[in-house]
Amino acid sequence: MLVTKYVITSPESNILPSDIAMKIYGSKHDVTVKETCMGVTINGEESVIDEVVKEIRSLDPAGIFIKDRGFPPGDPRRCRGRRGGGARPGFYMIESECKILPMISRALAAEGDVPSLPEKKRPLPPGRLEEIVKEGLS
């Protein structure tokens, strides 16, 4: 079965979409590659794609992320150029998650103990709020 995947690089990764494309072009795999603003989309037989994904990840294990895509690359049914403009709805989710990727990359690459997080903020107890109001009014 032919499958399509997004290969998305963290904005802080040193790997460029063109590096990934070159890596695939240089390999023996029968895979279609299309560069996008956030990485590349790759399309090919599932087993081949799995192999390719492993190779691509090795370029920057913590900085490259993979996502499944339903439509083949450049599918006219989803292409904004052919469908009255406007990004396809899922684009905004990828864009949003991309903003978090640098943090995720650093977390994946980090070693040692995981930091303890400060307790979540809770609402002020009503009694204390009352005291503050009284102080403010006096």
Residue ranges that bind other proteins, judged by CB under 8 A: 2-4, 6, 8, 57, 65-72, 75, 77-78, 80, 83-97, 100-101, 103-104, 106-108, 110, 114-115, 117
Residue closer to other proteins (CB basis): 24 or 39: 39
- Give the start-end residues of each E strand in the chain: 2-9, 32-36, 39-45, 64-69
Least separation in angstroms between CB 132 and other proteins: 27
Contact 43/4 with Cβ under 8 angstroms?
yes
Least separation in angstroms between CB 108 and other proteins: 6
Contact 82/73 with Cβ under 8 angstroms?
no
- The sheet with strand 2-9 has its strands ordered as 32-36, 39-45, 2-9, 64-69
Residue closer to other proteins (CB basis): 16 or 100: 100
Residue closer to other proteins (CB basis): 117 or 137: 117
